[in-house]
Structure 1
Amino acid sequence: MLVLSHHCHQPPLSSFRALKPHRCSSFLPKLHFFSRLQRFSVELQIAHGCFPLPRSSNLLFQFHPRVSIGEAGKCADRELGDENSDLADLEDLGDDSKVFKKTLQLVECAMFASVAGLAYFLSNSLAVENYFSCFFSLPIVISSIRWGIAAGRKTMVATVMLLFTLSGPVKASTYLLLHGLVGLAMGTLWRLRFNWSTSILLCTLIRAMGAVGYVLLSSFLIRENILALITINIHASLTFIFTAMGINIIPSMNAIYLIFGSLLLLNCGFFVFLLHILYSIFLSKLGLKDSLTLPSWMAKAI
């Protein structure tokens, strides 16, 4: 503890050189109380591991021998770091910050996945799947165009997991093969700004492979070769037509497979083409026309 002399004619200490000698006697009680109060405050704050006073307060450090300027500087730097982190947290809440954009992307992907999953689930429950099947791939396409290919993939996976929880693995696999892969392919190609010819061709192939995969999955589940039944029925139908026309020709199985593949690609091509037209109109109304690569005739029509 700092002890001051009661004689005013003695030289003052270095910490109180600013004090005038003729005011020393009147200032002694206040200074004594001030030193005890500051020492108690310093000890209390050091016990809690924080010393909020700045480095320039060297006067208080001489009242207690255990307080050093280095420790106070570290505490002051710690407080400045906490204030800077608080300011950084506030800046992360801005509209242009990465944290805000990632959070918005996650929320939108979750909302699109829930909408797609519930729409598919209710359509299957009410037996109106054929009327609303055009809209099952739309949430994946919107996510891919707005936030990138990774966001579209996350939306597709989240929708499949939601359907897996609600309806089981069969419905989830059906959505993935018939709608999820097509939506992801279309959103990816539109995000990369491919023209419609390439997009329709690739999406048609993916839709056809998904349809064949769905037939094989159904065959495995019901323990029956549905693909063989389809080809046999096509063979019998063509044989009957040729016989009715007076043509004595029996088509081979390779011709049947070729006809079946051609009809499947034609069906999937028309479906994908209608999806392109429908999604272009819908996304243009949502204000995403600048993100689309439309042919000239479609741009003029919209």
Structure 2
Amino acid sequence: MNDSNWVDSDESIHHFSSQPSNSKNLYSQPKSPKFQQTLAMVETAFLASTSSLIWLINTYFPLGIILRLFFPIPIAILCLRWGSRSACMGWLVSGLLLTVLMGPIQSILFITNYGLIGIQLGAFWRKNISWEWSIFIGAIISIFSFFFKFWLFSILTGEDLWQYSINQMTSVAEWLFLKFGTLIQPSFLLVQFFTCLLIFINSIIYLFAVHIIASMVLDKLGSPITRPPKWVQIILDY
């Protein structure tokens, strides 16, 4: 097996050696390429297992939003440290682990949503792209993943779940309008638009929270992400 497939290039070595010197930082001193390749494989296996374990724990012992914020972070760390190639390997290994542990459906749900978001976030952080673009692109991926999930479950159940959900939301909207004494009947298209808008806003809020958590955690690990906007820095007392 060619170990070099796990690391994009020697760019990873320069990425770490360019960080501020710290006696506690594993990457403060340059290491040989062989050491870097071995370390990349070890971290890929460890972080892929970590992401699978977080998903597994949250499935059987749901803790609300707490663990959900960490779903994409292990894969993002891989991409941030070793590049997209290692991140894709970790993404694939996570999917295989979840397939064995929980079945293919749970595996598909993870890799098509949080796995892809993790790769995207890591790639953007590695290139020092602003939070605004990182969150926006991540939200778009999240929306596509959401509709993919609806499409998948519609196939499995033999029902058009999106149509059913929109019909239910339309009924609720009509009931609310009647309660407020308004005879307006919301159109099916309008309900779909506001549903997509709410999904997008929810994704924006979620990804912003992920950025906050990643900023605090990865700073401690010596692999800082892109610096937050000024107003966020003021809130966090940067």
TM-score (norm 2): 0.81
Hey, what's the Cα distance between the residues in 1 that align with 2:209 and 2:164?
29
* Bigger relative contact order, structure 1 or 2 (CA pairs below 8 A, ≥6 apart): 2
Question: Match of 2:227, SS?
Answer: coil
Hey, what's the Cα distance between the residues in 1 that align with 2:57 and 2:130?
34
Query: CA distance change for structure 1 residues 274 and 206 in 2, over 3 Å: closer, same or farther?
Result: same
Does the alignment pair 1:221 with 2:148? Answer: no
Hey, what's the Cα distance between the residues in 2 that align with 1:129 and 1:161?
25
Query: Where do residues 19-168 of structure 1 align in structure 2 (5 Å cutoff)?
Result: 96-128=31-63, 130-168=65-103
Does the alignment pair 1:169 with 2:104? Answer: yes
Question: Match of 1:143, SS?
Answer: helix
Corresponding residue to 1:196 among 120, 131, 154: 131
Hey, what's the Cα distance between the residues in 1 that align with 2:180 and 2:230?
45
Question: Match of 2:69, SS?
Answer: helix
Long gaps (5+) in structure 1? 1-94
Query: CA distance change for structure 1 residues 130 and 293 in 2, over 3 Å: closer, same or farther?
Result: closer
Does the alignment pair 1:294 with 2:228? Answer: yes
Does the alignment pair 1:233 with 2:164? Answer: no
Kept in 2: contact 1:163–1:172 (CA 8 A): yes
Query: Aligned AA for 1:219?
Result: S
Tell me how many residue pairs correspond in the alignment. 208
Report what 1:8 is aligned to. none
Q: CA deviation at 1:96?
A: 2.6
Q: CA deviation at 1:119?
A: 2.1
Query: CA distance change for structure 1 residues 172 and 264 in 2, over 3 Å: closer, same or farther?
Result: same
Structure showing greater radius of gyration is 1
Question: Match of 1:193, SS?
Answer: coil
Q: CA deviation at 1:108?
A: 0.6
Q: CA deviation digits over 1:209-265, x for unaligned, max 9?
A: 111111221221122221111100111111111122222211111111111111111
Query: Aligned AA for 2:99?
Result: F
Kept in 2: contact 1:153–1:184 (CA 8 A): yes
Report what 2:193 is aligned to. 258
Report what 1:14 is aligned to. none
Cα RMSD (Å) of the superposition?
1.8
Report what 1:249 is aligned to. 184
Corresponding residue to 2:208 among 270, 273, 278: 273
Kept in 2: contact 1:177–1:211 (CA 8 A): no
Long gaps (5+) in structure 2? 1-29
Does the alignment pair 1:208 with 2:151? Answer: no
**Runs of 4 or more above 3 Å deviation:** 127-131, 297-300
